[in-house]
Structure 1
Amino acid sequence: MASLEGPGAPPVKAAQDDAPPSPPQAPPEKPSDKRRRSLIILSSWIIVVLLGLPIWWKTTSIYRANLPLSEMIDWADGKACKPSFSLQVALDAGGLPDEAAQTLLRLTQGALDDLNDFPAHQLRLRLPPDSSADGTAPQDALTVRLTPGDSMSATLDSRLPVLSVAYPPDSIPPPTSSASALATYVASELHAAFSEEQAILSYLLSSSTMAPESSKKTRTTRAFRYSHTYHLTFSLFTSGPAPSTWDIDAAIASYMQPVLDVLSLIHNFTVDTQVQLYAAPGVQSEDLSKDDLTSFINAAEWPLSPSIGGAPTINFIIYMGNQTVALSESEKSQSWLIPQWGAVYLLPPTPGSHVSPDALKKPLLAFSSHLLSLLGTPEKGSLPLRLSALARIRSADLLIRASSTLGALARLSLSLPSISIPGSVADGVAKSLRHLSIACADLASPQALEHARIAEAEAERAFFEKSMVGQLYFPDEHKVAVYMPLLGPVGVPLVTGLVREIREWLKRRKERAAVAKEKKET
């Protein structure tokens, strides 16, 4: 076959001309451009780290005021305060010589200490400066007034904190005596006068879940929780159209206001009244048994006043009808107490359409007794002693409740690190701790109740702070869901640019090292 090569033949292309063309290469980057890019990335990260992160941290961080957590837990655990009630009792020995009075005081105090099985509650006897004068002093819980008589007897004054003790003249112990029947008798009477208060305080301060005596259980379950103010509602319910009016204001002023006045040192009271006609009770029987009492109040139809202004309401109901409570075949009653609610009195029908104050005397006197029971007052003893004991019992109760609330707040703060603690909570805790310390220093004083009340109120206010509780419903997962869509588009270019610059820097470093090695070898 003839060759096509010749002078006029077209030139044959090289084999490499058949390969695909290579993509155009970017011009080499200038060193100034590299420095500019590095500075841009570096400045972006400087702005993020030094300006963006602090602003984000400041605007999104949760404020947590400093709380004395260890001190709060110590109060809750009973380590910060050991409650004690040291009551002062004046021993008015009358006309006894000083030496005989001192001997009787020493022997009576020893007998008292032997009878006392609750160390937190102690009675301390003292002799007034002038035994011939009235030995009663404001700081004395009780005054023992000794008077000569034919035999030993003791009587508590119904209006004053005075225990009158009569003794035979031959019962005065000689100075060298180590025992005395009179001292033992006075000690036993004093112990009996304060035994119920000791039992209640022992129950409050004890770690046991339930006291063994049934009287403690009954008293604890029927009394209202402490409140500085109570609302008293007096209601007259009748089964027909009469009576339609009652002189309740005059009756309260005559028969119940004296009790409210003596209780005003511990509680405040507001009063309202109402009359309801054609009110049918839940039980129609004339003789009500104990089982019928729970169904007597017709709560579905009787308009009973609710709590007003946040204060607990104590209801006192007078129902006018031919009904009585059958306690036994021979004994009947007209009233009964409803624990933590109020009391009911069954009043026989009166002629006419108006109920006079005299007809309301018995119901209101019964309500006065029920009110003392509903407030947790001890049942035995004279009224002054019962009220002073109530103040000390309430002081201990509020002290325990405030300490428990502070402990719960401390444990809540430790278990939820992300919860907000505003400054108002810290101020309330500090105020509560301050008043707790003052109350604990002298629980036997009348001022301890006011300090304990303020401490409990401040602790409750701090624990239920609205702005703090709201943080419980803002979980961390919600924060991540909010920030990720915003930080993702901004963070990816910054991170990729930083990674690229680090790689370029490592590459340049490796090249410089290779050049330096080559120069060294040559």
Structure 2
Amino acid sequence: MGEEVDDTTIDYDTAIDEKYRIYASISFAVLLLGIGVPLWWHTTAVQRVSLPYAGIDGLSNLDVKIKIKLVLAILSERRAEKLTRELTEAFENTAIYKVEIVSRIIPVNLTEHDFKYTNMDKVAASNFNLDIGELLLMETNAIFELIYVGWERGIYFSPQTNGSTLAQILSEWMLREKSLILTKNALAEPTLYSLDVENRRRFPASPAYDVLITVVNPNPEKLKVDWDLRKMAEKYVEPFLSKLSISSNFSVKSQWLYLLPLEVNPKRVPDSSLLGRHFALPEDVLPQLITPLEKKLASQVSLHPTINFVIYAVPCDNAPLHIYTRSGHRSKSNVNVEAFLSPRWGGVVFINPSLEACADAKSNESVTIVPEEITVIGTFLAQLKLLLGIPEPKPLHNVLTLPPSEFKLYNWEVDALLRIRTIEQLTSAKLTLQSLARLLKEIGNIVITDVVGDRIKTALRLVENSAERLAAGDLRQGFLLSKEAFVAAEAAFSDPTLLALLYFPEDQKYAVYIPLFLPAMIPVLLSLKNIYKHYSLRKVNA
């Protein structure tokens, strides 16, 4: 007779087995759903640091105003009040500038000798401490009708000069508000605003430039050029560029190229000169000279924009060579030097040998060219000013500049360049940050590293700080901050890490991992139902 099985024991064992199954299901669900899925999500998520999107959007409402301090040094208080009122009315509705006028009575210790135009800059420097961006309007008791603009930051005028004339000089020579507005609008809305000649000619903003001076000798056997390029650069070019060191870093390089003939054939024109002819090079063909030169200059070896200056020695077979305008007239009156400028590239100067040397030279003899150094360097530096954004002042009636020092810039020209570069750099930085923010919002799987995030935040802060310094009248610091903002924004926009996961979107991530997770997920998800029933019954029985 068999033993009788206790039903209580069977029920107890069944309950223990069911309890272990429930615990096992819970452990599997916790491991997969609580640890596995979050770990997978974290390891496959795109790294994206938080960005100040609100601050970047607010740049659209950032109104950049440059405060200009005008110091009126006048002989009498009544005259000071009148000029202050006239200048205030003239600059009342400016869009870029906020003009502050401070009037002072000229010190009584100044003598008639001090009021001579040759001493005016010295008087201004010793009696008025002007910072970068400030301007001095000084009335003199000297007897002359002309208005003189000094090398420092002063305009010197007679008691007969009115405020409208002074406002015109300030607007067209120093402040150049129209050019600043056009630069700002053309960068922001290029489809609506077209650049003028000055903006199309000027090199884009950059923290550094290379200045490459090249002498081209197409026939070294019959043509010798007697010139020390290094000495010339150290004597003239580097001191000139040192005045602009605040705006950018300049690196001056020089080289010689040989056996590089012109790619176009100049037209032979008979004349009554010693050689009985000269050669004409029409303006229309000048752009065709740039491409073959560019191939040989090696100007692409640097990451910085290169400003090219080419000195082309013309052999006697094509000399004298002259550039002709589209109307058929000579463009220059100098017999031995002809030049042209290519916007955002550089300038070319043709130096002709003397007519006597070519006439006396025999077929087997070489001719030596000794360049007119002052003329050639003066041409190059004039072209360099245009390429950097310092245009020649428009002629104004009875307005002259003081006698120039050799190849030097006016301080007010440098200030004007800083203003236009500041507006250009701030506008470019703002547009770059806004474009980058829109891109990162639209494409959610682009990596945003800590480095990129810090650069964006730094650029935003620098733009705001620059605008504050400009509004306070600190042009120097405002410009330096705008340059840093421009560099930081460009570095963030061109960072290679932004493309790290651009071609691995979310749908592909799910397509790869779901076939792996789904077979394991189905039993776990179904076991959740049994877990719920188990605890529901326990709650009812309790």
- What is the CA–CA distance in structure 1 between the aligned matches of 2:290 and 2:128, rounded to whole Å? 47
> Does residue 360 of the first structure (1) align with residue 358 of the second (2)?
no
Query: Of residues 135, 139, 143 in structure 2, which corresponds to 1:142?
Result: 135
* Aligned counterparts of 1:273 and 1:70: Cα–Cα separation in 2: 49
CA distance in 1, matches of 2:202, 2:178: 16
CA distance in 2, matches of 1:276, 1:191: 44
Q: Which residue of 1 aligns with 2:385?
A: 372
1:124 equivalent among 78, 89, 100:
100
CA 1:43–1:188 in structure 2 vs 1: closer, same or farther (change >3 Å)? closer
Q: Secondary structure at the match of 1:127?
A: strand
CA gap of 1:240–1:205, structure 2 versus 1, over 3 A, is closer
User: Which fold has the larger relative contact order, with Cα–Cα distance below 8 Å and residues 6 or more apart in sequence?
Assistant: 2
Alpha-carbon distance, 1:447 to partner: 1.7
Q: Which residue of 1 aligns with 2:82?
A: 107
Taking a change above 3 Å as real, the CA distance of residues 502 and 439 of structure 1, as seen in their structure-2 partners, is: closer
Q: Are positions 1:296 and 2:309 aligned together? A: no
Q: What TM-score does the superposition give when structure 2 sets the normalisation length?
A: 0.77
Deviations 1:362-393 (A, max 9, x none): 22211101111111123217632221100011
- After TM superposition, list the pairs within 5 Å mapping 1:210-225 onto structure 2: 217-225=196-204
Q: Which moved more, 1:447-456 or 1:140-149?
A: 140-149
Instruction: Indicate which of 423, 428, 449 corresponds to 1:401.
Output: 428
Query: Aligned to 2:511, which of 476, 481, 485?
Result: 481
Matched, 1:442 2:469: yes
Is the aligned partner of 1:468 residue 2:494? Answer: no
Query: What are the equivalent positions in structure 2 for 1:178-193 lying under 5 Å apart?
Result: 182-193=162-173
Alignment partners' CA distance in 2, 1:505 and 1:114: 86
Partner Cα separation in structure 1 for residue 26 and residue 196 of structure 2: 75
- Give the residue type in structure 2 aligned to 1:281: L
Residue 73 of structure 2 corresponds to residue 92 of structure 1: yes
- Residue 53 of structure 1 corresponds to 37
Provide closer, same or farther for how the CA distance between residues 330 and 40 of structure 1 changes in structure 2, counting only shifts above 3 A: closer
For residues 11-30 of structure 1, what are the alpha-carbon distances to aligned partners after superposition, in whole Å with 9 as ceiling and x for unaligned?
A: xxxxxxxxxxxxxxxx9993
Tell me, in whole angstroms, the C-alpha distance in 1 between the residues paired with 2:340 and 2:477. Answer: 34
Distance 1:502 1:152 in 2: 102
User: Of 240, 245, 251, which aligns to 2:232?
Assistant: 251
Give the superposition deviation at 1:300: 7.3
Identity of aligned residues (%): 23
The 1:366/1:502 distance shift into structure 2, 3 A limit, reads same
Task: Measure the CA separation in 2 of the matches of 1:42 and 1:432.
Answer: 51
Residue of structure 1 in register with 2:252 after alignment: 271
Counterpart-to-counterpart distance in 2, 1:433 and 1:150: 53
State the distance in 2 between where 1:109 and 1:389 align: 22
Whole-Å separation in 1 of the counterparts to 2:65 and 2:281: 46
Secondary structure of 1:380's aligned partner:
coil
Two-structure CA RMSD over aligned residues (Å):
3.1
Instruction: Choose which of 169, 173, 182 in structure 2 pairs with 1:203.
Output: 182
| 8 Å Cα contact 2:238/2:252 also seen in 1 | no
Are 1:244 and 1:275, in contact at CA under 8 Å, matched by a contact in 2?
no
- Give the one of 322, 325, 335 matched to 1:324: 322
Question: 1:373 and 1:194, CA in 2 relative to 1: closer, same or farther beyond 3 A?
Answer: same
Whether contact under 8 Å (1:236, 1:274) holds in the other structure is yes
Shift of 1:302: 4.9
Farther-moved stretch of structure 1 (57-66 vs 259-268): 57-66
Task: Write the distance in 2 (CA, Å) between the matches of 1:483 and 1:340.
Answer: 53
Match of 1:68 in 2: 52
Q: For the structure 1 residues 484 and 316, does the alpha-carbon distance in structure 2 shift closer, same or farther, using more than 3 Å as the test?
A: same
Structure 2 CA distance for aligned equivalents of residues 406 and 66 of structure 1: 14
Give the drift of 1:269. Answer: 1.1
Residue deviations 1:209-233 (CA, integer Å, cap 9, x gap): 5898x9x611111111111111111
Which residues of structure 2 form unaligned runs of 5+? 1-9, 111-123, 267-278, 333-337, 358-365, 395-400, 402-409
| Counterpart amino acid of residue 449 in structure 1 | F
1:255–1:365 Cα contact (<8 Å) kept: no
**Greater gyration radius:** 1
TM-score (structure 1 length as normaliser): 0.79
The one-letter amino acid paired with 1:376 is G
CA contact (8 A) 1:335 1:346 kept: yes
Which consecutive residues of structure 1, in runs of 5 or more, have no partner in the other structure?
1-26, 172-180, 514-522
Which of 31, 38, 43 lines up with 2:22 in the alignment? 38
Contact 2:72–2:80 (CA under 8 A) maintained in structure 1: yes
Counterpart Cα distance in 1 of 2:328 and 2:493: 54
Q: Residues 275-317 of structure 1, C-alpha deviation per residue, up to 9 Å, x if partnerless?
A: 2222111212121112111112352785112234411111111
**Kept in 1: contact 2:241–2:250 (CA 8 A):** yes
Structure 1 position 340, deviation (Å): 0.8
SS in 2 for 1:420: coil
- Number of residue-to-residue matches in the alignment: 460
2:407 matched residue in structure 1: none
Which region of structure 1 is more displaced relative to structure 2, 130-139 or 284-293? 130-139
What letter is aligned with 2:411? P
User: Are residues 501 and 142 of structure 1, via their aligned partners in 2, closer, same or farther at CA, if it must alter by over 3 Å?
Assistant: closer
Aligned partner of 2:271 in structure 1 is: none
Are residues 257 and 306 of structure 1, via their aligned partners in 2, closer, same or farther at CA, if it must alter by over 3 Å? closer
